[in-house]
Amino acid sequence: MRVLGVDPGLTRCGLGVVDGDGGRQVRCVLVDVARSPAGAEVAARLLVVAEAVEKAIRIYRPEVVAVERVFSQANVSTVMGTAQASGVVALVAARAGLPVVFHTPSEVKAAVTGSGRAGKQQVTAMVTRLLGLAEKPSPADAADALALAICHCWRGPMIDRLAAAKATSNQLAKAHRARLAAAAKEER
């Protein structure tokens, strides 16, 4: 499975492509950061994000895009920019026909380090170790993007199985309700 992980942001948007073998083995294919000046117009900054994600999709052909879910922050303008960047990433992926999966920061940290409360340094150290990188990805946005991709490589198959089980359960429940309604009708 090839996953494009995206740590959305306006100033720095981390991009990481990771190949997973269905087990615990993962391999780094790309680590990058799309940057835009803090003083630039929001639309221009979002265009930088869109173009970087489009390029990564076109060149590396991931099967899925894993994006960090926006969470509440004290700084409203930061969370707004992150949400806007996330929306652009989801749109670009959808236009490319790719599924988009959102993971919370604590999910990603737990998957990569074993603790949902791990710090940035712990995440970076584990990403470096898990991918066998010669040096730590920098800045932290790059490491976070790789961590998102690793998280999805490991959790994606389980998420897919749960979704399939839920769909089967819903179909069985619908058929059961129909049988019950038919039986109730016959009794009248």
Tell me the domains of the chain and their CATH numbers: 2-187 (3.30.420.10)
Question: Whole-model pTM?
Answer: 0.87
Catalytic-labelled residue, pool 54, 68, 135, 160: 68
In sequence order, what DSSP letters do the residues of 82-142 get, joined into one string? HHHHHHHHHHHHHHTT--EEEE-HHHHHHHHHS-TT--HHHHHHHHHHHHT-SS--SSHHH
Q: What pLDDT, on the 0 to 100 scale, is given for residue 83?
A: 93
Q: How far apart are CA 143 and CA 137, in angstroms?
A: 5
Which residue is listed with tokens 């599924």? 99
Taking 50 as the pLDDT cut, the residues of the chain under it are none
pLDDT value of position 162: 81
Q: 141, 144, 160, 186: which one is catalytic?
A: 141
What is the predicted pLDDT for the residue at 108? 96
pLDDT for 54-89, tens place per residue? 999 999 999 999 999 987 666 787 889 999 999 999
Q: How far apart are CA 78 and CA 55, in angstroms?
A: 25
Establish whether 7 is a catalytic residue: yes
Q: What is the pLDDT of residue 187?
A: 85
Active site residue 51: no
Distance (Å) of CA 13 to CA 31, 33, 129:
11, 5, 22
Tokens of 171: 């179909």
Q: Tell me, what's the pLDDT at 37?
A: 94
